[in-house]
Structure 1
Amino acid sequence: MLPDRRRLRTAALRRRLLAGVGAVALVASGGAAYAQQASSAPAQPGPDGLAPDAVYLEADSTIRTGDTLTATSNGEERVLARFRNTTLRAGEFRYDLNLGVASARDRVEFTDDAGNQVFASQLQLDSELRAGVAVDFATRFRNGASLMAATAVRRGENLNELNYAIFTPCPICDTDGSPKQPSISIQAEKVVQDESLRAILYRNAVFRIGGVPVFYMPVFSHPDPTVDRASGFLVPVPSYDEGRGYSLEVPYLQVISPSEDWLISPQFNTDVAPFLNLQWRRRFSDGTIVLRGGYTYERNFGDEPFGDRTNRSYFLGHGDFDPEGPWRWGFTAERTSDKTLFDRYDVRDPYQDNGLYYGDQRRLISQLYAERQTERSYLSVAAFSIQSLRVKEFDFANPALNIFESDGELPLVAPLIEARWEPDGPVFGGRLRLRGSAVALSRDDYIGSPVLRPEIIPAVPTIGYPGVDTRRVTGQAEWRRTMITSAGLRFEPFIDVRADLYSISDLPPMMGVEGGTITRSRATAGVDVSFPLIRRIGAGADLILEPMAQLSISTDPDYDSRIPNEDSPALELDESSLFRVDRFPGYDQLEGGMRFTTGGRATLRWGDGRQASLFVGRSFREEADTAFLTPVPGGAPGQLYDPSGLSADTSDWVVQGSFSPSDRIRGWAHATIDSSGDVRRAEVAVDGRWGRRNLATLSYVVDRSNPLASADSRNYEFVQLAGQQFIYGNWGIAASGIADMERNLITRSEVGLLFDDDCFRFELGWRRDNTQVRPSGPSEGIYIRLNLATFGGTG
């Protein structure tokens, strides 16, 4: 038995080695000729390790008849052939050594050099090793799409013809590998794959959903699934609005080059004139520019159009350039002709975070900026202006009379400079950080609180007053050193020195206060102390306790009532800001005196990544500071309150926690609680998942910092819920809503029927908007969302 097994193993090994030498070297008579050719002109091996003319073959038997090599497999294992970075498996494989033509039959599987796979019962490859003729043809693209046909013929270098074919972007097998009916498919009498156009063309195409025919087109085409972008119509976006009526947006993508395209997206409406949306994108070697715009010639409208017809438009553009080196620069340009244009025409994603500085919701920002960053330094220079689309005063009886925030009350910022630098090494054993900042602000219109200090706001009408102009230069140095004792106690002594120079002009003359140049300074010294403790409390469970404290002493910051509070009108106390030397987000507000801040964090970790954490902290100051008080919105003259929670000798309590008891549930909570135990602000969010695709998100936010409930009150309380639940198979329901608990009103809500599988997602439902921003007030209507694999979607 042993000699026989040795002979079998030796024969199999010999077949593999001979096949690996090359097509000419498969027989003894050709070996010398191949060796001589290789010696005179050695060929470089490809990624698979084979020379360009080499063939690697594994088979149970190989026979050469003339110039034809035949390899067969007698068992379940198929013949394996590798050549020119391609792989072929089949029950039988034939290769013409003279013509370079290969053919295969019986469970053929062919993978080309790009990773695309072809399956067939019979397959013939031309001299370029591409499919020439295939029977029972099927191919699977890298993105999961499949194309199948009874026969496939290669008509030219870039043209493939398939007869009685079917294309689907969906999986055709379930998770167990069993065949399944694709959710979406296109069946056609003839399909032509044009590789030069990178498109697939259909004749007599029948569209099927779940195998059921739903639509017929005599001709149809779409890009090859391997194409990232191609010119053509995208999925239309249907919608309904009480003001516009029924709408259909028909986007068309025109690809100019691999780095440039246009998106032309007209919106056709039954009750108002069409609205044209355009987008141009261009990528350069070191950056990108995206320009968007829209235009219509129409009257304003609510439930009915009113006013005169006029030009209405918007422009949204941004660019970002990052060449090699420390510098980068960019811009944003955002403007609209109407405060409610985005709402009335349902313009998608108008408020985006582009550029160095972001405009918040319902504010547009146009800016030009440049940045320079190295390992030890940072410098930014910017200038920007803002257009506001916010409602300042709602008229709930007639939303067309809403009063919007004036653009003249918002500053023109030019320039705004930020700089930081750290030396490349310790200074007195610690880290030294230098900061600088400069800004110039100018306004057209007067604005009182919170920009001006309460003590200089006049108690007389201020209509027609000029806007206050401010210029500021700030220099700051911070030194901090970390020291850890052998017991694990962590000390961080620090010193912070800062100086500000202000120039104020255009203060209203009736205030009796002149502008001018103002200087102030502040020096702070202190120490941070923390003592992390960890203890194993069970198998795979740890408890971490981290008490922490900070003691700091500052000089009097030299408050001057003429210094506006432009950048620090609001403060969100949390775990990170509570222990900062400068707890206000900007430069205009400063803290002084002696302060002691303490807190602690407890974290429990168990299982595989499960954890729960809670932080509680508070700050104490030597004496109360009335400089942080601001007028009550809608209150009587001189009525003040503390929106920061830092004015009294004890700050608000800060409570913050997170939990994730499993990989399907996670949550986060934050609250500030005043000395009387009342919640000033709070936010809670919980995400949950169950089953394979069911999910929900619940969030709650409340702000009760304003002591006076009025039309101008900034107090609010909202609950937001969004989720989806599958009822049967791929069918389910999706719902979302935002409830205003202060007004007992559902401000936004959606509920719809949902179908979702691995191939496409479809939603049909009803939505209502009660935000009162539109001239017509609340609106409601049907919404449709469709996202198709390969073909794109409506969003």
Structure 2
Amino acid sequence: MRRLALALLFCLAATAGAAQGVAQLVADSVTVEEDGRLVARGNVEAFYEGTRLSATEIAYDEDADRLTILGPILIRTEDGTIFTAERAELDPQFENGLLRGARLVLEDRLQLAAARIDRRDGTVTQLTRTAATSCRVCGDRPPLWEIRATRVIRDETAERLYFENATLRIGGLPVAYIPRMRLPEPGVTRATGLLVPSIRRTDRLGTGVRIPYFITFGPSRDLTLTPYLSPNTATLEFAYRQAFLRGDLRIEGALTDDTISPQSERGYLFADADFVFEGGWQLEAEIRATSDKAYLVDYGFSGADRLDSFAELRRIEADERLSFGVSVVESLREGDVNAEQPSILPRARYERILRLPRLPGRFTFGASADAAIRESPADARGRDTGRLGVNADLTLTPVLPGGLLATVSAGIVADAYRIEDDRRFDTSATQGTPYLAADLRWPLVRSGANGVIQVLEPVVALSWSETYGPAVPNEDSQVVELDEVNLFGLSRFPGEDAREDGLRGAVGLTWGIEVPDRLSGRLTFGRLYRAERDPRLSPGTGLDGLQSDILLRAGLELETGLAFDIRMLVDPDFEFSRSEARLSWENARTALAATYTELSKAPGENRDAAVAEWAVDAAYRATPSWTILGEARYDLVAEEPIEGTFGLRYQNECITVGLSVSRRFTSSTTLEPETDYGISVSLDGFAADDGFAPAPRACR
């Protein structure tokens, strides 16, 4: 009889009469032996609560409540765990018993071969004389790496593997002995234990090793401690994370004692917090601090040349915004004296929008306050300022015949200043700035064949404003910029201490195209005109004179992954004051981003010489296992490189090796040119993967 299917009721507990489930058995033949055993033979398959067993023969002893199974045996549990064995003795629930000549496969990644596997309570598995690896095993040849142990215990509840008398072998050769160790199962995202170590060599620190250790404190907190040791440094890095019901907290930093700096103790601290409270309030804070200007670069923690710390409490609703905050700024730039820079910046802002009944528009009013405080007591260089301002604005947005969209605004801004430690300005000053503005847009849409859509929008704008009152220090508007966002705005100054005056107008044209499944493109150009020159807008900004430079912005994105974006300010003689171009290309094997930046000389912005550089960031997957990485920055004015990095990554089904070399070419009184070498090796198969699916090696 072929493929005889029987439903067998097995006793699922030791307590008599406690039948709790049903097992099903499928086999070519089923017989009852003289001793009362039920024997199923030929293509046997058994099913119980998501667990599936395949074997050549299964014999069930009702008196002993035991299954004797002959292989080859394959057991796949509900969670995807796979057991294979030559022979097994199990209870009908597959929870208790032993397997001989067995193999355990977890998450289709990590395989553990053992002479014997014992199952207890369905959650604890003990493996005797075990070899564990995630590498592909080809015949009798040893895998690329394996861990051999006299005993391995798998705790399914804790999702841990415990090894006793473990030996790490590379290519069959023993390289390390570990009496006891604990490792997470594949798929575990958080587990206490060692992370991937790395080796780093620099010209100043020598050859050192980083050994991170990850510690969990329940489901919402963890700490990573990373000792970094080399002949010239002893550093302890740390990173603490905690998740709350209303937000998140992260703190990271390092403490260092090295020989490359005259300071005996060095370090840094970065902290980030983001919380949401009842009533719509949100608290966001960042702390950035370091012991000296060179520390972050020496140890590769950050390349920032300025550290901004802040805390802000805000509530944002549909028609109202209220915020309070303070920032602390520390410059790491060569030549900057922090005591003479505005380093403490408190601020507060309130804004309310009133919708106008039966009118297409809104009335906005608000108040704001801020200050710029320096630590230096010197006159002028230690100037402190404070500002309190109010504003009101009426904006109407009617739709005119023919589809024309109009925007008309009128308003006033009033500010009161307090200025100390600067004899060039009065101690108190009050300014008022009334303004009028209007713009007219005509969006035109054209739909073509195959879903092609084109949009053309010409825009004209006219505005006037005038500031009345004595001069005040310009603390927040020293860098001006013309772009497609503020071309039709009231002012190109970004802050409150300076605003454009007089009559001015702007014209612009935007064109966009969308071709489904092929490309999307955009093009914007425009120009600003003024009735009178503004001496605060210096050459090099593109805004000096009665006409600004021509603004051009173009972008193209193809479905092939190629994207191009360019923005520039150019005068009628094709002299560029500012330009930036970015080219990117991304597909299954290539990721490329190249950027070109050029800024002309602008003494009014403390830029006494032109700036031009290009930067490249690339990754190329040469083969399924090998990836080439590279980064570079080059100074076109000085005609010399700034920094460069080259890296290789090899990854297969069981190991990841990373090699890198980077060079910083620039130098200063606090930084020297330096070369940094790095290597990291990760034995994959434990814990969660990174989402990258490398191709497994083929057996030859």
Q: TM-score, normalised by structure 1?
A: 0.75
Q: 8 Å contact 1:88–1:110 — kept in the other structure?
A: yes
Correspondence 1:695 to 2:591: yes
Specify the alignment match of 1:45 in structure 2: none
Of 366, 378, 396, 2:321 maps to 378
- C-alpha deviations, 1:573-600, integer Å up to 9, x for none? 3222323334433223323444332322
1:792 deviation in Å?
A: 8.8
Q: Identify if the C-alpha distance between structure 1 residues 284 and 74 changes in structure 2 by more than 3 Å, giving closer, same or farther.
A: same
Partner of 2:95: 130
Q: Secondary structure in 1 aligned to 2:264?
A: strand
**In the alignment, what sits opposite 1:328?**
282
Partner of 1:44: none
Quote the offset at 1:739 in angstroms.
0.7
Match 2:555 to one of 630, 652, 658 = 658
Distance 1:193 1:567, change over 3 A: same
Instruction: Show CA shifts across 1:521-564 (max 9, x none).
Output: 2232313313232242x6x47251312203233332336422x3
SS of aligned partner of 2:296: helix
Equivalent-residue separation in structure 1 for 2:688 and 2:316 (angstroms): 38
> Are the structure 2 counterparts of residues 96 and 325 from structure 1 closer, same or farther at C-alpha, using a change threshold of 3 Å?
farther
Is 1:167 matched up with 2:132?
yes
| 2:524 matched residue in structure 1 | 615
Q: Is the 8 A contact 1:730 1:755 kept in 2?
A: yes
How many pairs were matched up? 682
Residue 432 of structure 2: aligned partner: 520
1:340 to 271, 281, 294: 294
For residues 521 and 318 of structure 1, the distance between their equivalents in structure 2, rounded to whole angstroms, comes to: 38
Residue in structure 1 matching 2:580, options 683, 698, 709: 683
Per the alignment, do residues 683 and 167 of structure 1 end up closer, same or farther by CA in structure 2, a change over 3 Å counting? Answer: farther
Q: CA deviation at 1:426?
A: 5.9
Q: What is the aligned counterpart of 2:374 among 434, 440, 443?
A: 443
Q: Is the 8 A contact 1:752 1:764 kept in 2?
A: yes
- Cα distance 1:656–1:101, how it changes in 2: closer, same or farther (>3 A)? farther
3-state SS in 2 of match to 1:648: coil
What's the counterpart of residue 87 of structure 1? 51
Kindly state the Cα deviation for residue 572 of structure 1 after the two structures are TM-superposed: 3.4
In structure 2, distance between residues paired with 1:262 and 1:478 = 53
Q: 1:659 to 1:156 in 2, by over 3 A?
A: same
Query: What SS does the corresponding residue of 1:342 show, helix, strand or coil?
Result: helix
2:600 equivalent to 1:704: yes
Alignment of 1:147-296 (within 5 A): 147-154=112-119, 159-169=124-134, 185-195=146-156, 198-203=159-164, 205=166, 207=168, 213=173, 215-219=175-179, 220-270=181-231, 272-296=232-256
Distance change (3 Å), C-alpha of 1:118 and 1:679 = farther
Give the alignment of 1:535-554 within 5 angstroms. Answer: 535-536=447-448, 540=450, 542=452, 544-554=454-464
Which residue in 1 is equivalent to 2:642?
A: 747
Q: Quote how far apart the aligned CAs of 1:99 are.
A: 7.8
Q: Which residue of 1 aligns with 2:500?
A: 591
Question: Take 1:281 and 1:707, find their aligned partners in 2: how far apart are those partners?
Answer: 45
Q: Is the 8 A contact 1:132 1:153 kept in 2?
A: yes
Cα deviation code 1:504-528 (max 9, x no counterpart): 311522x3x4131313122323133
User: How far is the alpha carbon of 1:748 from its aligned partner?
Assistant: 0.7
- Between the aligned partners of 1:97 and 1:421, the Cα distance in structure 2 is 80
Q: Please tell me whether the aligned partners of residues 96 and 120 of structure 2 are also in contact (alpha carbons under 8 angstroms).
A: no
Distance 1:362 1:261, change over 3 A: same
The alignment's C-alpha RMSD in Å is 4.1
In structure 2, relative to structure 1, the CA distance for the partners of 1:577 and 1:95 (3 Å cut) is: farther
Cross-structure match for 1:500: 414
CA distance in 2, matches of 1:744, 1:695: 26
Q: Secondary structure at the match of 1:343?
A: helix
Residues 607, 471 of structure 1: alpha-carbon distance in 2 compared, 3 angstrom cutoff: closer
Is 1:367 matched up with 2:321?
no
Partner deviation per Cα, 1:745-768 (whole Å, 9 max, x = no partner) = 111112344323455442324321
Contact preservation (8 Å) 1:88, 1:108: no
Q: 1:779 aligns with which of 674, 687, 690?
A: 674
Deviations 1:469-527 (A, max 9, x none): 22232324353435375x6x340323242313121311522x3x413131312232313
Q: Structure 1 counterpart of 2:286, which letter? A: T
CA distance in 2, matches of 1:581, 1:103: 86
Partner of 2:332: 389
Alignment check: 8 A CA contact 1:343 1:774 kept? no
Structure 2 residue 342 is the aligned partner of structure 1 residue 410:
yes
User: SS of the counterpart of 2:217?
Assistant: strand
Contact 2:385 2:420 in 1 (8 A): yes
Deviation at 1:672, TM superposition (A): 1.8
* Distance (Å, rounded) in 1 between the aligned partners of 2:485 and 2:438: 17
Q: State the shift of 1:382 in Å.
A: 0.8
Q: Which amino acid aligns with 2:345?
A: V
Q: Greater share of helix residues, 1 or 2?
A: 1
Q: 2:293·2:670 contact (CA, 8 Å) conserved in 1?
A: no
Residue 466 of structure 1: which of 382, 404, 420 is its match?
A: 382
Does the 8 Å contact 1:618/1:654 carry over to 2? yes
TM-score with structure 2 setting the length: 0.84
User: Structure 1 counterpart of 2:389, which letter?
Assistant: V
The CA deviation at 1:569 is: 1.9
2:54 is the alignment partner of 1:54: no
* 2:196/2:680 contact within 8 Å kept: no
Cα gap change, 1:116 to 1:560, in 2 (>3 Å) = farther
Instruction: Check whether the contact 1:259–1:282 (CA below 8 A) recurs between aligned residues.
Output: yes
Q: 1:257 to 1:481 in 2, by over 3 A?
A: same
CA contact (8 A) 1:625 1:647 kept: yes
Match of 2:694 in 1: none
5+ long unaligned stretches in structure 1: 1-7, 26-33, 38-51, 302-306, 352-360, 393-403, 447-461, 630-640
Q: Once the two structures are aligned, what percentage of the paired residues are identical?
A: 19
Pair 332,159 (structure 1): closer, same or farther in 2 beyond 3 Å? same
In structure 2, C-alpha distance between the alignment counterparts of 1:377 and 1:465, rounded to whole Å:
38
Q: State whether residues 383 and 420 of structure 2, in contact with CA within 8 Å, keep that contact through their aligned partners in structure 1.
A: yes
Unaligned runs of 5+ in 2: 691-700
Query: In structure 1, what is the Cα distance between the partners aligned to 2:234 and 2:37?
Result: 67
Q: 8 Å contact 1:597–1:619 — kept in the other structure?
A: yes
Q: Secondary structure at the match of 1:278?
A: strand
Asked whether the equivalents of residues 124 and 153 of structure 2 are also in contact (C-alpha less than 8 Å), the reply is yes
Letter in 2 for 1:161: Q
Paired residue secondary structure (1:257): coil
Residue aligned with 1:310, SS: coil
Residue 516 and residue 761 in structure 1: after superposition, are their counterparts in 2 closer, same or farther (change >3 A)? same
